[in-house]
Amino acid sequence: MKILVPVKRVIDYNVKIRVNSEGSAVETNNVKMSMNPFDEIAVEEAVRLKEAGKAEEIIITSIGDKGSQETIRTAFAMGGDRGIHILNESNTEPLAVAKILKYIVDKEGVDLVILGKQAIDDDSNQTGQMLAALLNWPQGTFASKLEVSSDELQITREIDGGLETLKMNLPCVVSTDLRLNEPRYASLPNIMKAKKKQIIEMPVTDTGVDVTLRLETLKVEEPAVRSGGRKVADVDELINVLKEEVGII
């Protein structure tokens, strides 16, 4: 089985983001970047499948500027085998990303795509479902558990009221939720080995996908800040304000 894991380079989740002075985007210059956390879970799951003897190869891909290669190397250090970097200096929307991934899937003969359910920058939660639609493959979104056999997959999904279990044929697309696994830290020898693994760089135009933005961003702003209130001294005062000021109990 050949697994494709697409990874996105995003502002590190610990960074407090800032809107740029033009109010057109979130500032990404001189900001720490790392792999989208949901994608780390996707890489980890792929590596576990390979370690369990269920997959032969893990292809890592990323779409973006030169920096994306660093994110691909991070995935190599966790256990990815080889990389495809689709070079696009500007932002790529989920639909265009799905089309590019379809191009890679068709070209490489991939059996399973595992990817994060959403990226923590644009929070779209679309790419996996869109890719499944374009490939006419089944989709297992928001996965918290996977059981993979040679031609079939049983997936437990996180849904609003609890959990749901589906069965689907391979090939298919799986998107990861938080509880699927806990990604490993890369060891130093593996980080060294990652430097030698191969990344093929391809300009986005070579994929034949039109990446013209469909959504025009008119402005980006910071939300209204909720200001704090006051401290209460004890439980009696708290009950009193809930009765008198909030009027709820």
Partner 1 sequence: MSILVIAEPNGVNVDRGTLSAISAAHKISNEVDILILEDSEEVIKKAQNIKGVTKVISASGDLDGGLAENIAPLISECAKNYSHVLSSAGTFGKNIMPRVSALNDSQQISDICEIIDGETFVRPIYAGNALATVKSKDKIKFITVRTTAFEVAQNEGGDAKVVSGPVAETNGKSSFINRDLSESDRPELTAAKIIVSGGRGIGSADNFSILDSLADKLGAAVGASRAAVDAGYVPNDYQVGQTGKVVAPELYIAVGISGAIQHLAGMKDSKTIVAINKDEDAPIFQIADYGLVGDLFDVIPELSDKIK
| One of 109, 189, 208, 223 touching partner 1 (CB under 8 A) | 223
CA distance linking residue 173 with residue 230, whole number of Å: 49
Backbone CA torsion sign across 68, 74, 77, 78: negative
Residues 72-91 that bind partner 1 (CB under 8 A): none
* Cβ 158 to partner 1 shortest distance, Å: 5
CA distance linking residue 93 with residue 101, whole number of Å: 12
| One of 87, 168, 191, 199 touching partner 1 (CB under 8 A) | 168
Residues 1-20 that bind partner 1 (CB under 8 A): 11, 13, 16-17, 19
228 binds partner 1 (CB under 8 A): yes
Task: Please give, one letter per residue, the 3-state secondary structure of 179-206.
Answer: HHCCCCCCCHHHHHHHCCCCEEEEEHHH
178 binds partner 1 (CB under 8 A): yes
Burial class (CB in 10 A: 0-12, 13-18, 19+), 207: buried
* Cβ 93 to partner 1 shortest distance, Å: 5
Let me know: does 215 contact 155? Beta carbons within 8 Å.
Answer: no
| One of 129, 193, 199, 202 touching partner 1 (CB under 8 A) | 129
| Distance linking the first and last C-alpha atoms of the chain | 59
Q: Which stretch binds partner 1 (CB under 8 A): 58-66, 71-79, 80-88, 217-225?
A: 217-225
* Cβ 195 to partner 1 shortest distance, Å: 31
| One of 162, 189, 195, 196 touching partner 1 (CB under 8 A) | 162
236 binds partner 1 (CB under 8 A): yes
Let me know: does 154 contact 173? Beta carbons within 8 Å.
Answer: no
